[in-house]
Structure 1
Amino acid sequence: MARAIWSGAISFGLVNIPVKLVTAVDRRNVRFRELRREDASRVRYRKVAAADGEEVTSDQMVKGYEIAPDRYVVLEPDELKALAPESSRAIEIEDFVELAEIEPLYYDSSYYLVPGDTAAKPYALLHTAMRESGKAAVARFVLRTKQHLAIIRPVGDALAVSTVVYHDEVIPTEQLDGLPGEDVQPTDRELAMAGQLIESMTVAWEPERYRDTHRDQLLELIERKAAGEDITAAPELEREAGDVVDLVAALEASLAASRDGGSSAESA
């Protein structure tokens, strides 16, 4: 059972709904320690000053913002504390927007909101109203001394809240180099074939279909080595990313392979 990491209330208008914040994602990264090869001794790191190599303790450290190479504006802990967002137990809803209008690039970390002990009815009311309207809520709240902009939306039977990045943190596409211009337009035939290929590869969204194959291979290798198996590294194969010389031919070949794959799967 996931533990609540924050408790407070959703607030919009005069409505107040006590909630608890629960992590929605359990990352399954394979974590390694750095060791000395000869004896597997843990490697530890010290914080040292670049000027003289002396170790620096926590009480000796301050924050510095670099304004030029090796030139810093130093901020003392008290100065930063004075600017910290006021601690609050409220998730303040500021607006409601169409959920479909939110660009996924903005999403950051996601959590579940579960109702407090006496908040089942108002929680269900908000959840149902948002689900039926297709709307999402734009809100702010403070978590671990940092203020977050967030999106609240229904996910299954729960309300989820995702922190989002601010508009000026998303790089606009106008700043990207090498995007095709108006002079690069696909032909009607190419569009039709690309549409057919997309359609032939379209399936229902089932996230359980997709596994982290690299993590699986790492864990298998770890298990085999832990069992004493002698592992010989396979030679690394390089894949060439060549130019598509004949786009139509590539689309035709892809469609043919897709049809063969589909018929094989159906016959199986």
Structure 2
Amino acid sequence: MPRAIWNGAISFGLVNIPVKLVTATQSKTVRFREIRRGDNSRIRHRKVAASDGEEVTNDQIVKGYEIAPDRYVVLDPEELKALDAKRSRAIDIEDFVDLADIEPLQYESSYYLLPGDMSGKSYELLRRAMEETGKAGVARFTLRSKQYLAVLRPVGKALAVSTLLYHDEVVAPEQLDGLPDDVEVADRELAMATSLIESMTTEWDPSRYEDEHRQRVLELIERKAEGEDIASVPETEREAGDVVDLMAALEASLSAAKAGAASDKGDGQRDTA
């Protein structure tokens, strides 16, 4: 079980619920170290000044904000530290909103909240009330000297808190170039596309989707560790061209989806026979 990285309390109105913050995600990325070919010596990266190539020590490093090419406003670490958010042990809920109204693009990092000592009932009361109403709590809290905007919501039997990007950090669709404009879609085309989507619709089950690339990398590592000689295979790229006949492609896709569904149903009947 992940260890608590923060202890504090959920605060809304006059209610105070002690909680512990634990990570809700864990990276499964396969990590490599940089080594020199031939003797496997570790590669070390040093910080050097661009002007003379001299190595720079940490006490020589300050922050510079570029206001023009090669012109900087220099800020000392102590000046920035003075602007850090005041230490707080509260997740202050400012508003409750409909969870469905929060744009998923704003979600950043997620954590679980566990009830503190003697706060199980108040924790469960808040979780169940939000579950019943479909509401989420918009809050602010400080973690590692930085204040975050966050959303508090029920996830199963737990409460989760996710940090949010601020609205001006998310690119709005209106700012995008190249989106279709004044494109006519025939009713028959829309009906066919809708049927295709419906034929491919299933219940959301995240365990169905595995990181296939990561698995291939781990298998390659295991085979090489066992001394197997791996022959490189040229990579083949799928060409992404324009669909010449949209209706023909939709009809073929729908037929394939129906055939696959029928096959799955037949397999299920044979399995139970």
Letter in 1 for 2:192: M
C-alpha separation in 2, matches of 1:179 and 1:108: 26
Shift of 1:35: 1.0
Equivalences, count:
267
C-alpha separation in 2, matches of 1:77 and 1:201: 54
* Paired position in structure 1 for 2:112: 112
Report 1:228-239 matches (<5 A): 228-239=227-238
C-alpha separation in 2, matches of 1:160 and 1:106: 15
* Paired position in structure 1 for 2:14: 14
Shift of 1:261: 1.1
C-alpha separation in 2, matches of 1:29 and 1:17: 35
* Paired position in structure 1 for 2:191: 192
Letter in 1 for 2:195: Q
Letter in 2 for 1:259: K
- Deviation per CA, 1:179-230: give whole Å up to 9, x if none: 011x202110011001100000000000000000000000000000000000
**Which secondary structure state, in structure 2, belongs to the residue aligned with residue 4 of structure 1?**
coil
Letter in 1 for 2:40: A
C-alpha separation in 2, matches of 1:217 and 1:70: 45
Shift of 1:160: 0.3
* Paired position in structure 1 for 2:254: 255
- Deviation per CA, 1:72-106: give whole Å up to 9, x if none: 10001221111111011110100000001111000
C-alpha separation in 1, matches of 2:215 and 2:261: 27
C-alpha separation in 2, matches of 1:252 and 1:224: 43
Identical positions, percent? 70
- Structure 1: segments with no counterpart, 5+ residues: none
* Paired position in structure 1 for 2:263: 264
* Paired position in structure 1 for 2:178: 178
* Paired position in structure 1 for 2:213: 214
C-alpha separation in 1, matches of 2:5 and 2:249: 51
C-alpha separation in 2, matches of 1:39 and 1:145: 42
C-alpha separation in 1, matches of 2:36 and 2:69: 34
Report 1:13-32 matches (<5 A): 13-32=13-32
- Deviation per CA, 1:28-64: give whole Å up to 9, x if none: 0000111111211111100011111111111111111
* Paired position in structure 2 for 1:147: 147
* Paired position in structure 1 for 2:270: none
Letter in 1 for 2:98: E
C-alpha separation in 1, matches of 2:261 and 2:41: 53
**Runs of 4+ deviating beyond 6 Å:** none
- Structure 2: segments with no counterpart, 5+ residues: 268-273
Q: CA RMSD in A?
A: 0.7
* Paired position in structure 1 for 2:44: 44
Matched, 1:224 2:223: yes
